[in-house]
């Protein structure tokens, strides 16, 4: 049980965390010092807070051993550096959840990779792409726009629509390197729709790399070098093609690649000998 695993941490009090989160001023001062030591006037310029208010916050932070002073310069202690980085991650996570609140609230996330949930802040500047009455195909149109100029494309696909096949064909015919992890059911659809010979041809050319994941996949992940798209299942268990989350954040793409490699290690590689 999660509570048992983390009980020792939960029994402790964390006054430093409460102390920082209770004041925007103190948090802003610490974040302003993350990259460099600064003079008072530099902190004032970056935070747009009055000198008297900053000095009051700095004195409090010095008492907590989060900031030190050397001459006219203020800098983070080691403890302050670590705490400021973790607080930014926490605030980004809250912002990620709040900015797409309805999306996270109405979709299944319990089966998402732990690595993704732990680093959900990489989607802090993501756009929610959704269908509207005026543009019901908006998510898929956006997806096509994103992949149209890709020379490399990776995807973890739990579902497959005919239009997905058209998009994959387009990429392969334009010499895009495509790597996909799919369920056995999706693999059979690909085999039937593309044909064994065509699949063999693309695999032989090195344009297509394909793996079968022999368990359920509860999310869709599509990415290239300049975007990553996440699709989820609704609470009723149906995949939702009407909403996608899109980001161009480089950290998100690194995370996406790590998740892809994680699932790849647990998948069966398909080559021309075992089609």
Q: According to the model, what pLDDT value does residue 209 have?
A: 95
- Answer yes or no: pTM beyond 0.85: no
Q: What's the distance, Cα to Cα, between the start and end of the chain in Å?
A: 42
CATH 1.10.10.10 residue ranges in the chain?
2-89
2-89 to CATH, choices 1.20.58.1180, 1.10.10.10, 3.40.50.10680, 3.20.20.150: 1.10.10.10
CATH code at 101-270: 3.30.870.10
CATH 3.30.870.10 maps onto the chain at 101-270
Please check whether residue 107 is in contact with residue 233, taking contact to mean a CB–CB distance below 8 angstroms.
yes
* Buried-state track 34-58, b at ≥16 Cβ within 10 A, e below 16: eeebbeeebbbeebebeeeebeebb
Handedness of CA 115, 184, 186, 108 (dihedral sign): negative
Please write the tens of the pLDDT for every residue from 103-144.
999 999 988 888 999 899 999 889 999 998 888 889 888 888
């Amino acid at each position: 049980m999660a509570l048992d695993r983390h009980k020792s941490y939960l029994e402790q009090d964390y006054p430093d965390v409460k102390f920082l989160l209770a004041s925007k001023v103190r948090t802003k001062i610490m974040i302003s010092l993350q990259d460099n030591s600064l003079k008072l006037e530099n902190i004032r310029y970056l935070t747009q807070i009055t000198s008297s208010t900053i000095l009051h916050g700095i004195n409090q932070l010095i008492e907590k051993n989060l900031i030190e002073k050397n001459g006219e310069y203020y800098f983070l202690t080691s403890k302050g550096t670590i705490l400021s980085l973790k607080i930014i991650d926490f605030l980004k996570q809250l912002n990620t959840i709040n900015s797409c609140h309805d999306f996270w609230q109405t979709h299944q996330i319990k089966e998402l990779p732990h690595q993704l949930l732990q680093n959900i802040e990489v989607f802090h500047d993501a756009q929610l792409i959704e269908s509207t009455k005026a543009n019901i195909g908006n998510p898929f149109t956006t997806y096509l726009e994103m992949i149209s100029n890709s020379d490399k494309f990776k995807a973890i696909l739990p579902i497959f629509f005919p239009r997905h096949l058209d998009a994959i064909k387009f990429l392969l015919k334009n010499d895009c390197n495509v790597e996909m992890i799919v369920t056995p059911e999706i693999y059979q659809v690909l085999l039937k729709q593309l044909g064994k010979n065509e699949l063999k041809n693309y695999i032989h050319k090195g344009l297509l790399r394909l793996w079968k994941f022999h368990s359920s996949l509860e999310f869709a992940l599509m990415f290239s070098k300049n975007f990553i798209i996440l699709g989820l299942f609704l609470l009723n268990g149906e995949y939702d093609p009407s909403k996608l989350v899109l980001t161009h954040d480089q950290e998100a793409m690194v995370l996406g690649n790590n998740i892809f490699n994680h699932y790849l290690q647990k998948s069966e590689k398909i080559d021309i000998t075992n089609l």
